[in-house]
């Protein structure tokens, strides 16, 4: 499993983890939604579930469920600030298209 986290995203994730001492890591995956089919899910995780895959990236434990793994393999997680807006941004080599608003994506 290969997922990368840029330094700005790593710093933001560490802030979230520091504010939630019981969290074991970050759950990263996808869910069916939006006009293109899938949206990313990033949440703090208390524990891994059976069948989950775990990966340590720069000291951050990423937990990915088995169904999401093929769709997020190779993704680079970034965090960007633009004016008053701040958000995680995903560079996913598996995405073949995105909806106009950028909230959801499709895979081939």
Contact 104, 41 (CB under 8 A): no
Contact 28, 40 (CB under 8 A): yes
Tokens at residue 27, please?
Answer: 């759950």
Q: Specify the pairing of strand 76-82 against strand 4-5.
A: parallel
Predicted pLDDT of residue 106 = 74
59 CB-contact burial (10 Å; exposed 0-12 / middle 13-18 / buried 19+): exposed
The average pLDDT across 62-80 equals 94
Contact 42, 58 (CB under 8 A): no
In this prediction, residue 61 has a pLDDT band, given cuts at 50, 70 and 90, of very high
Please determine, for residue 9, whether its predicted confidence score (pLDDT) is greater than 70: yes
Predicted pLDDT of residue 33 = 79
- pTM to 2 decimals? 0.86
CA–CA distance from 3 to each of 17, 36, 74, 78 (Å)? 18, 22, 5, 11
- Superfamily of structural domain 4-107: HesB-like domain (2.60.300.12)
Nearest Cα neighbor of 44 from 32, 31, 28 is: 28
Domain boundaries, the chain: 4-107
């Amino acid at each position: 499993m290969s997922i990368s986290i840029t330094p700005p995203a790593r710093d933001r994730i560490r802030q979230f983890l520091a504010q939630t001492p019981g969290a074991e890591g970050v759950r990263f995956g996808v869910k069916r939604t939006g006009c293109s089919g899938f949206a990313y899910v990033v949440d703090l995780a208390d524990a891994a579930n059976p069948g989950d895959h775990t990966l340590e990236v720069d000291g951050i434990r990423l937990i990915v469920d088995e169904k999401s793994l093929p769709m997020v393999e190779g993704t680079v997680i970034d965090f960007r600030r633009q004016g008053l807006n701040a958000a995680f941004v995903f560079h996913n080599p598996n995405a073949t298209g995105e909806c106009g608003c950028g909230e959801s994506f499709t895979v081939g």
